[in-house]
Amino acid sequence: MGTAQQIKRQLEKALNLDAQFWRNEIGFKILRKEPPKDAKIGLMQNNKQKLPYFSKQYVKYKANNMRRFTKGGTAKSFDPSHDYPGKRLYGSKTATSKGGRLSGYEGIPIVSKQTQFVDMTLTGRMWKGLTVKKADKNSVTMTFDPADKGKIIGNRRYGREVVGINDKNKMLVKNAILKKLDRNLKAQLSRTIKIKVT
């Protein structure tokens, strides 16, 4: 085999990014881990930052660990699952005793009570549903739990985008790809190339 052909094949191998790389290095290590971390500091995937809550009622309940302030009577017509107009996603409108969790939140851990800005992290269940759907040698596809579709679309109306990749994460993906290509090139080009002179 000629030297030029050897180098060509080695370069082709070096430029190959397999499905395992896209799934593990990009999907699980970046696209699954970074968005939840972004959300906790108020950074959305459309690069918007520290957006305000609109519902004073939601802010009040979130700060109180999604527990009622009063007892008896009828529960207010309020969907505590999100901070935008829409149908109720959890529970019913039945009353709850004072200090008890709002309907739909009994026994569910609340992981964020901060209300200074939208962090898309109340119970953290939406982020747990974010995972790799498929990967091939060219890309990786992420998906959320279908049960969170309404929440995702509803918040999108107010610029609270959790789908996609913000600039910070694009840079992380770019750097991971460049690092992988660099390793591949070094591995391939460090191999012995035999040159036959006739």
Q: How confident is the model at residue 12 (pLDDT cuts 50, 70, 90)?
A: low
Question: Is 151 inside a domain boundary?
Answer: no
C-alpha distances (whole Å) from 168 to each of 72, 73, 126 are 48, 48, 21
129 and 198, same structural domain? Answer: yes
H-helix or E-strand containing 60? Answer: helix 56-63
**Domain membership flag for residue 154:** no
Phi then psi dihedrals of residue 22, to 5 deg: -65, -40
User: pLDDT value at position 101?
Assistant: 85
| Shared-domain flag, residues 66 and 96 | yes
Residues 135 and 197 in one domain: yes
Residue 60 lies in a domain: yes
Structure tokens at 37: 């971390």
Instruction: Please give the residue range of the domain that contains residue 40.
Output: 1-50+124-146+160-198
44-55 average pLDDT score: 96
Strand partners, 135: 140
Looking at residue 87, its pLDDT comes to 45
Query: Can you tell me the mean pLDDT for 62-86?
Result: 63
The answer to whether 3 and 193 are in contact (CB under 8 A) is yes
Tell whether 58 and 111 lie within a shared domain. yes
Helix 167-189 × helix 3-14 angle, to 10°: 150
Predicted pLDDT at 1? 45
What pLDDT digit, counting tens, does each position of 83-123 carry?
555 444 444 455 455 678 887 888 899 999 999 999 999 99
Q: How confident is the model at residue 197 (pLDDT cuts 50, 70, 90)?
A: low
DSSP designation for 122: S
